[in-house]
Amino acid sequence: MKGSRPEQATLTKDTDMTKTDETRQVIESMVDGLNDHRIADIGEFFSESFRWFGNQGCGTKHGLEAFQRNWQRPFQAAFSDKVCVDEARLYMGEWAAAFGHQTAKHTGTFMGIAPTGQQVEIRYMDFWKVQDGKIVDNWVMVDFPYVLAQLSVDVFNGEGWEAFDRNEKVPPSPAS
């Protein structure tokens, strides 16, 4: 890239590294709360005005009540027997990140798909900011295309790049 470059990592550049242990405690307790399927009292971990930024299909939630109404309840209505496993967590001052998967049974309508009773894996990544002992921001990537594929729905209509990995199609290359 020639010329000036955009400023990088603006959200984390001034993090207070002395907050790492507090952040770890909040995130570990919150994950336990989510695994206990808590909704009504989840404000123990999230600020009332926290923001949840999801990928396409997940939406964006402004405030705890919107998160409970527009994420937690629909998600738990669609999937039961849900167990969350963070495969890795990173902590840095007021920031934390994790990736992992959930296993769950598809027992309610999900993205218009009637319950199948099928066990699914739901892969995700989370990035949290913690201030004053509460999560104030949460950036989330939930692999809904993978969940839908397990329910026999191909959102890429056969054009997913996995076809390159299986040598079913030749990947394009940029012009030289």
Distances (CA, A) of 42 to 33, 53, 94, 134: 7, 17, 19, 11
Residue 149 belongs to some domain of the structure:
no
pLDDT reported for residue 35? 84
Alpha-helical regions (H) of the chain: 20-35, 64-67, 73-78, 144-150, 162-165
Q: Which amino acid is at 15?
A: T
pLDDT value at residue 117: 98
Q: What is the pLDDT of residue 142?
A: 97
- Looking at the domain assignment, is residue 172 inside a domain? no
Q: State residue 78's pLDDT score.
A: 97
Q: How many domains does the chain have?
A: 1
pLDDT recorded at residue 34: 86
Contacts of 173 (CB under 8 A, 6+ apart): none
76, part of any domain: yes
In-domain check, residue 117? yes
The answer to the question of residue 50 being in a domain is yes
Q: Is residue 162 part of a domain?
A: no
Residue 28 lies in a domain: yes
d(Cα 76, Cα 16) in Å, to the nearest integer? Answer: 35
Beta bridge partners of 62: 51
pTM of the model: 0.89
Handedness of CA 67, 70, 71, 77 (dihedral sign): positive
Q: What is the CATH number of the domain that holds 92?
A: 3.10.450.50
The residue range of the domain holding 123 is 19-142
With left for phi above 0 and alpha for psi between -120 and 50, is residue 160 left, alpha or beta? Answer: beta
- Chunked into runs of 10 residues, the chain (176 residues) has average pLDDT values of 84 93 96 87 94 95 95 95 94 98 97 97 98 97 97 95 93 90
150 inside domain: no
